[in-house]
Amino acid sequence: MAKKYTANGVYFLLLLNLFAFNCFGESSRTTEKIQLKWAVIPQFSSTTTQKNWTPFVGYLEKVTQTKIQLLVYDDFSSYNKDLQSGVPDLAYVNPYNALQARRNQGYIPIIRDAAGKLSGILVVRKDSGIQRLDELMGADIAFPAPTAFGASLYLRALLQFQYKLKFNPVYTGSHGNSYRSVLFGRVSAGGGVIRTLEADRPQVSDNLRILYKAPSTTPHPIVVHPRVDTSLRQQLVATILEMNKNQQSRRLLLAVKITESMATSYSEYEPLELLQLDQVQQ
């Protein structure tokens, strides 16, 4: 039998629903997870970056109970634009980006790889007759982007200032495009870093030869915008450091190219200011 309600009964139910909405709706709003944006430098394809970083970010979300939106980029220009505008709350950046982001937005380096060092390389085709750097005088050389650090900026600084080499930089948008520009004969040589060369397809890496390896530098850091609450920042650092102790979580670190996480600070990157990288040929 269908229930019948009097006018007073209907009024009472409406009041009850309104009370429940105000109480529980307000409660859900106050317990809503904070959302952070996390940007990743586009060293690899966007598909690879998404695949490698999503489990890592998901783990941090679960432990810290904080919603994190992963920002993945197809090219350096859009990534740099967001970083210099302060769009991401956290970001995985190259050392030069760390300097720029510090100047422009006050980003703070918090985590880096304890084991790895950043090594820029210059590659040529395996069958190329080029054996020395001075043979590249006046040549077209591919680089991922002007501000890609190990694969471009630092490498160009060494070629320009230390080896007095004059060349024509060609910016391809990614490490992979730099290697392919060499492989297909569009340029005489190309810049990259060892780990992106090793991670590329054998059809590419097996047909290239390292002509020059730059001295190693402090690797890419994770940086945080100063607007992020200090307690949350400390929780994120503690969580990432704790990941070293568990085999399953260590695999998540390895996927994002962090062999072992360690705390860092701006003091480790400040010496790069002395290189006057802003004066490097564009």
**CA nearest 220: which of 261, 191, 252?**
261
Band (281; pLDDT cuts 50, 70, 90) = low
Per-residue pLDDT at 5: 45
Answer whether residue 282 shows pLDDT above 90: no
**Tokens 């430098």, residue?**
41
Higher pLDDT, 64 or 216: 64
Structure tokens at 31: 């317990």
Q: Are 111 and 128 in a shared domain?
A: no
Per mean pLDDT, which range of 32-36, 99-103, 125-129, 216-220 is the poorest? 32-36
- Report helix, strand or coil for 52: helix
Q: Are 202 and 186 in a shared domain?
A: yes
Per mean pLDDT, which range of 33-37, 53-57, 100-104, 115-119 is the poorest? 115-119
Q: Are 100 and 230 in a shared domain?
A: yes
Contact by Cβ (8 Å): 225, 107: yes
Answer whether residue 45 shows pLDDT above 80: yes
Q: Are 141 and 204 in a shared domain?
A: yes
Q: Name the domain boundary from 185, 213, 241.
A: 213
Higher pLDDT, 147 or 121: 121
Domain holding 131: CATH number? Answer: 3.40.190.10
- Angstrom distance (rounded) from CA 151 to CA 192: 4
Q: Are 231 and 207 in a shared domain?
A: no
**Amino acid identity, position 173:** G
Band (29; pLDDT cuts 50, 70, 90) = very low
The tens digit of pLDDT for each residue in 150-183 reads 899 999 999 998 999 999 999 998 899 999 999 9
Which residues span the domain enclosing 131? 120-213
In a domain, 73, yes or no: yes
Total domains present in the chain: 2
Q: Are 185 and 70 in a shared domain?
A: no
Q: Are 90 and 227 in a shared domain?
A: yes
Per-residue pLDDT at 127: 97
Answer whether residue 65 shows pLDDT above 70: yes
The tens digit of pLDDT for each residue in 131-149 reads 999 999 999 999 998 988 8
Answer whether residue 97 shows pLDDT above 60: yes
Q: Are 41 and 177 in a shared domain?
A: no
Q: Are 207 and 236 in a shared domain?
A: no
In a domain, 62, yes or no: yes
Structure tokens at 198: 């090793």
Answer whether residue 124 shows pLDDT above 50: yes
Per-residue pLDDT at 33: 63
**Sign of the torsion formed by the C-alpha atoms of 53, 55, 57 and 60:** negative
- Angstrom distance (rounded) from CA 46 to CA 200: 14
- Angstrom distance (rounded) from CA 32 to CA 216: 44
* pTM, two decimal places: 0.73
In a domain, 1, yes or no: no
Q: Are 77 and 149 in a shared domain?
A: no
Q: Can you tell me the mean pLDDT for 175-201?
A: 95
Q: Are 39 and 111 in a shared domain?
A: yes
Q: Name the domain boundary from 180, 213, 246.
A: 213
* Sheet of strand 108-113: strand arrangement: 67-71, 35-40, 90-92, 221-224, 108-113, 261-263
Per mean pLDDT, which range of 43-52, 135-144, 175-184, 231-240 is the poorest? 43-52
Q: Can you tell me the mean pLDDT for 10-23?
A: 44
- Angstrom distance (rounded) from CA 153 to CA 156: 5
Q: For all residues of the chain together, what is the average pLDDT?
A: 88
Q: Are 102 and 155 in a shared domain?
A: no
In a domain, 95, yes or no: yes
